A and B are shown apart, each in its own frame.
Chain A
Amino acid sequence: MAVSTIYSTQALNSTHFLTSSSSSKQVFLYRRQPQTNRRFNTLITCSQETIVIGLAADSGCGKSTFMRRLTSVFGGAAKPPKGGNPDSNTLISDTTTVICLDDYHSLDRYGRKEQKVTALDPRANDFDLMYEQVKALKSGVAVEKPIYNHVTGLLDPPELIQPPKILVIEGLHPMFDERVRDLLDFSIYLDISNEVKFAWKIQRDMAERGHSLESIKASIEARKPDFDAFIDPQKQYADAVIEVLPTQLIPDDNEGKVLRVRLIMKEGVKYFSPVYLFDEGSTISWIPCGRKLTCSYPGIKFNYEPDSYFDHEVSVLEMDGQFDRLDELIYVESHLSNLSTKFYGEVTQQMLKHADFPGSNNGTGLFQTIVGLKIRDLYEQLIANKATARAEAAKA
């Protein structure tokens, strides 16, 4: 990848619009700021290294717990851009910018109703625009990104996004398009099993007027074919998959409160070393509750093993059960290896910082935090590598 390139004005202009495929209802405001354009032109130096992380998740966009944990690991709280559209889906912190891929819908809610497609269908998304803008941000060029307003269901005028150090693209199709996939430095897929999805949606929607058990069920069933056809296959491309399943510790549990979470980590990914328990590459089954640690029902169970996932070598770390107390968490952390923490107890500290987030007492919170630390490690390694490469090139 070119480390320092100067962009011509022509290329810069190409990031400011994008009305190619849209109907006349969607109009983008043209920002005429010639001075700032020229400033960007000359400011494209080699010092900005942007890494791009892709996160595939069904519902939630930029406001999800995973994003908040991730941005917290890097420091600073991520907030919507100040003074802009209040329904913007973007989150910005000091180091990270989270972009919601729903903003690249080519059809708004009414267009989709007309064409009879769901948001999951690739026909409702503009992958060309997605690819161009992610590429531009990765190379240090600011873009005018459209906004998809989830409340009105329309496409709002675009907002300016500055290239950040870490760019996270979150949505339904981060790994769908091959070109976008190649731009990703790390990708994560959040795989929620059907039972857990049903339980979570019930918790979320039963408070809403008009919703009933049948309507929630019907909604999930109706989306399932499109989901299985377009979203699910992205699993095979992810570097890390977080699978959320119902617990095996409580027979016939259908509340979905206790979860079994599996962190499937691909082997051989550059700058990413999987977390392991006791002995790398072996199969371990571990119940920490016993003499040294007392846990309440249903307790905690860990599993670690090498496996094969879609013809890739992977390592799987699994946690079933819940944390009740702080010392359980620190006990578990002290026995896991390759966590990429900067000091002892960092995982526990991060979990405690967000004790009110959902999943803070089970594997979802734990593995999301660990993935966040792994991404930080990846970022630092990448920067260090680029720095040494540049130093050597300068010497030569």
Chain B
Amino acid sequence: MTTIGASGLSVATPRVVVLPAVRVSAPVRLNYPWKLGSMNRMVVVKATSEGGISDKVEKSIQEAKETCADDPVSGECVAAWDEVEELSAAASHARDKKKAGGSDPLEEYCNDNPETDECRTYDN
């Protein structure tokens, strides 16, 4: 991203292209080391952004078209289109969720906890 040109030494650091919603996180460290075995995958359990799913859908459609170009009735072709269907459904759910929710985080919090101080309403 920056070049240190002052001393004639130019160190070009790799340009990191950060997609708007990709979150890079460090591997999870556990306080309970006996659970380490089950955390091998280090998957960060976070809801993926919408942009991510749309890209996946597009990619899967391309893949399916390629796979089916060779043999339209093979198991691979069918499985590829099934994947497209699954991802399209996930994308449409994400869109609906974003349309429905995506509102005030305070409103969401108050729906779940109406008795807290921030959320109490006095009608009289």
Q: Residues on A close to B: CB < 8 A?
A: 25, 27-30, 59-60, 63, 82, 85-87, 109, 112-113, 115-120, 150-154, 156-157, 201, 204-205, 207-211, 215, 218-219, 222-223, 225-226
Complex: how many Å from CA A153 to CA B79? 13
CB-defined contacts of A25 to chain B, threshold 8 Å: 41
Contacting pair B78 A222 (CB below 8 A)? yes
CB-defined contacts of A154 to chain B, threshold 8 Å: 43
* Interface residues as binary, B73-95 with A (CB distance below 8 Å gives 1, 0 otherwise): 01111111111111011111111
CB-defined contacts of A152 to chain B, threshold 8 Å: 43, 48
Contacting pair B57 A210 (CB below 8 A)? yes
Closest to A154 in B: B43
Closest to A24 in B: B40
Closest to B74 in A: A116
Q: List 5 A-B contacts (CB under 8 A).
A: A85-B45, A205-B88, A208-B54, A222-B68, A223-B82
Contacting pair B79 A27 (CB below 8 A)? no
CB-defined contacts of A223 to chain B, threshold 8 Å: 78, 81-82, 85
Q: Which of B1-9, B13-21, B58-66, B116-124 has 4 or more CB atoms under 8 Å from chain A?
A: B58-66
Q: Known: A59-B85, A205-B88, A205-B92. Contact between A113 and B79, CB under 8 A?
A: yes
Counting CB contacts under 8 A, is B96 at the interface?
Answer: yes
Counting CB contacts under 8 A, is B104 at the interface?
Answer: no
Q: Known: A152-B43, A208-B54, A219-B85. Contact between A29 and B90, CB under 8 A?
A: no
Q: Which of B64, B83, B88 sits near A204, CB closer than 8 Å?
A: B88
Contacting pair B35 A29 (CB below 8 A)? yes
Closest to B52 in A: A151
Counting CB contacts under 8 A, is B53 at the interface?
Answer: yes
B81, B82, B97 pick with most chain A CB within 10 angstroms: B82
Distance in angstroms from A220 CB to nearest chain B CB is: 8
Distance in angstroms from A216 CB to nearest chain B CB is: 8
Q: Known: A86-B46, A156-B45. Contact between A215 and B78, CB under 8 A?
A: no
Complex: how many Å from CA A65 to CA B28? 37
Complex: how many Å from CA A152 to CA B61? 16
Contacting pair A218 B68 (CB below 8 A)? yes
Closest to A27 in B: B38
Contacting pair B86 A208 (CB below 8 A)? no
- Interchain residue pairs A-B with the least CB separation, the first 10: A116-B75, A210-B58, A222-B81, A118-B82, A86-B47, A150-B90, A219-B81, A151-B48, A210-B61, A59-B89
Known: A59-B85, A150-B90, A210-B59. 14 other contacts (CB 8 A): A27-B40, A29-B38, A63-B97, A112-B79, A116-B75, A118-B79, A152-B43, A154-B43, A204-B92, A208-B57, A208-B92, A215-B65, A215-B84, A226-B82
Complex: how many Å from CA A356 to CA B82? 30
CB-defined contacts of A87 to chain B, threshold 8 Å: 45, 47-48
Counting CB contacts under 8 A, is B112 at the interface?
Answer: yes
Closest to A114 in B: B79
Complex: how many Å from CA A390 to CA B29? 53
CB-defined contacts of A201 to chain B, threshold 8 Å: 88
Distance in angstroms from A16 CB to nearest chain B CB is: 13
CB-defined contacts of A218 to chain B, threshold 8 Å: 64, 68, 81
Q: Known: A113-B79, A116-B76, A218-B81. Contact between A151 and B47, CB under 8 A?
A: yes
CB-defined contacts of B79 to chain A, threshold 8 Å: 112-113, 115-118
Complex: how many Å from CA A59 to CA B45? 24
Complex: how many Å from CA A204 to CA B89? 8
Complex: how many Å from CA A118 to CA B96? 25
Contacting pair A211 B45 (CB below 8 A)? no
Distance in angstroms from A85 CB to nearest chain B CB is: 5
CB-defined contacts of A205 to chain B, threshold 8 Å: 88, 92
CB-defined contacts of B97 to chain A, threshold 8 Å: 63
Complex: how many Å from CA A208 to CA B92? 9
Distance in angstroms from A105 CB to nearest chain B CB is: 11
A113, A119, A120, A225 pick with most chain B CB within 10 angstroms: A113
Contacting pair A209 B47 (CB below 8 A)? no
Contacting pair B85 A109 (CB below 8 A)? no
Complex: how many Å from CA A210 to CA B54? 9
Complex: how many Å from CA A96 to CA B52? 32
Contacting pair A30 B57 (CB below 8 A)? no
Q: Which of A28, A86, A117, A210 sits near B62, CB closer than 8 Å?
A: A210
Complex: how many Å from CA A155 to CA B62? 25
Complex: how many Å from CA A273 to CA B26? 58
Distance in angstroms from B36 CB to nearest chain A CB is: 11
Q: Which of B83, B90, B94 sits near A113, CB closer than 8 Å?
A: B83
A87, A154, A215 pick with most chain B CB within 10 angstroms: A215
Q: Known: A112-B82, A116-B76. Contact between A151 and B61, CB under 8 A?
A: no
